[in-house]
Structure 1
Amino acid sequence: MCHSTDSRPPTAPGAGEVAEHGLAELTALDGNTFLAYRATPAAPNGSNVVLLPDVRGVHPFYRELAQRFAEAGFHTVALDYYGRTDDTNDRDDSFDWAGHFAEVTPEQVRLDAAAAAADLRERNAGPVFSVGFCFGGSQSWRLAASDLGLAGSVGFYGQPKLVTDVVDELSAPLLLLLGGADVATPREEFLAFAERLDEAGKEHELHLYEGAPHSFFDRSFGEWADACDDAWLRVREFTARNAVAVSA
């Protein structure tokens, strides 16, 4: 994992700490019971994060990332996509996600994300943001067009083609973060997507990290530490700004 090198001191007692964290089970409105991972901050900042992983589901990386969000003050729930086809909680590198991924639909993700958002709101009444990676990045942006009432949606290297059909329905601002050398989703697709968002009058920010590969944030690419740090800062600035906008 690319870790932030932010050395600013804590702003309140408990800042930088996690009160509790661990696996949980949530149930969506369609009856699906699915794996999730909760992380509760010791010093809440007032906001919540629904964390949408890549195709690996609640892989150990995303459990650690949920804790990192909690350390930054966010009540966080990372959700898993495979409750309808797999009843285990084993999501390490041996998990055969490919055997389940083809069955996942955007509507299923919306239902599970709604359950995660509801779980967060039971614990903290503040604004809810979605943050996703790769497949989860695309789904995070899509959720800005849903009925979840999100304050904003963040996506790392998602696929714009999975979102273009709902652009007109987007009701929350987007943050798009991508690597300039991402061969999975070329920059041309993102630039075209940003133009489409402009045409539709949708609020968004696009940041491209020159030379950075796909998954630069969620892999151990030490040479991209600066990009990781900047992306982490932009996520916190985006959520802080839009949390204020929601409460204003």
Structure 2
Amino acid sequence: MKYLKRIFFALLIGFAAFTLFLAGSIVIDAALGKDRLDAVTNTLIPGQGANPEVRAFVARPDGKGPFPVVIMIHEFFGLNESIVGKAKGLADEGYLVIAPDTFRGSTTKWIPRAIYQVITNPAEQVNQDLDTVYAWIATQPDADVERVGIAGFCYGGRASLSYSLHNFRLAATVIFYGSPETDPAVLRALPGPVLGIFGGNDNSIPIEQVQEFQAALNQAGIPNEITIYEGQPHAFVTDIDSIRRGGVQGEAWAQMVAFLDKYLKQDNAPQGYSSQGEFRLAFDWGYYMRLVYEHALGTASHQH
């Protein structure tokens, strides 16, 4: 019995020490990285009402416009050079791209802080900040406010889906390996078509869940393209240089551009419409726990 007690207290002390280490590492990373956003933002979007200002990177195409617009949402690490490069790449395709910081000043490369960022920035707050971004888009003379879509990667994929269920004026939604919703009653409220791109070897999102997502979209009557890229890990579309070298990253990127061209550029592109009222997606704890494994030890560890 004494040995069991010793083992129990040893485990308890070990857990407490590990918890303190994680908490301390988050604080230290925040202190060391307080100026990181300066290098990846070029625009300060005025706050709406009681909401704060939103920092963002804005990429504009050549010409006078008005241009179709894409709001691009970062991964759970926060706004970084990878998203800035993708925003510039999509602007080269003729889109005005706004990549906002949805974590209100926080960005990191440290996985524990990445999870902390997601937990401490709830979807309701993120949607409020994206409302600020959308209101700002309407004031830009080179923006076509009738042709606004949203695209996101990882956490940003789920955030894009969540915002599309909040803002019924959006014309298209793109989800790169973000946690999907499988309830047709919820998805029926989406204002426009959905593109979903997933990796076949992504352990954070089971293939069965992707298939259920597509079936639910079909049942809800939402136009969609859902593609599973066989053999690909989580976060397989890494950066604009890799995209431009072609291969599967270039293929997935080209699929997104073709989808956006179809629904944001063509004369018959549908506009967003009001559906059944706002739906709020639940926080997907299982997805983020699997995501930690994927980035630390699994298929997305190639990024670190």
> Which TM-score bucket, shorter chain as reference?
0.7 to 0.9
Report the count of equivalent residues: 223
Any residues of structure 2 matched to 1:19-168 within 5 Å, and which?
Answer: 22-26=41-45, 27-43=47-63, 46-83=67-104, 86=105, 91=107, 93=109, 96-123=113-140, 124-126=143-145, 127-161=147-181, 166-168=186-188
1:72-98: CA deviation from partner (whole Å, max 9, x where unpaired) = 111111011221xx4x6xx35369433
> Quick check: 1:239 aligned with 2:256?
no
Paired residues of 1:114 and 1:148 also in contact (CA < 8 A): no
Larger radius of gyration: 2
For residues 82-137 of structure 1, the C-alpha deviation after alignment (integer angstroms, 9 at most, x for no partner) is: 21xx4x6xx35369433332112222222222222222332212511101001111
1:36 is paired with a residue of what secondary structure?
Answer: strand
Q: Which amino acid aligns with 1:149?
A: R
- Compute the RMSD of aligned alpha carbons: 2.8
In percent, how many aligned pairs have the same letter? Answer: 23
**SS of corresponding position for 2:162:** helix
Assess if the C-alpha contact under 8 Å between 2:108 and 2:114 holds in 1: no
SS at match of 1:47: strand
1:165 is displaced (CA, Å) by 6.9
Q: Deviations over 1:175-215 (max 9, x none)?
A: 00011111111111010111111111111110111101000
Give the TM-score, by structure 1 length.
0.79
**CA offsets 1:147-180 (integer angstroms, 9 cap, x no match):** 2511100010010148877312112110000111
TM-score by length of 2: 0.66
**Cα displacement (A) at 1:142:** 2.4
Greater helix share, 1 or 2?
2
CA contact under 8 A between 1:132 and 1:139: conserved in structure 2? yes
SS of match in other structure, 1:205: strand
User: Residues 77, 141 of structure 1: CA spacing in aligned structure 2 closer, same or farther, 3 A cutoff?
Assistant: same
C-alpha distance in 2 between matches for 1:247 and 1:150? 10
Distance 1:165 1:52 in 2: 25
Aligned partners of 2:66, 2:213: CA distance in 1, in Å? 32
How far apart are residue 220 of structure 1 and its match?
9.2
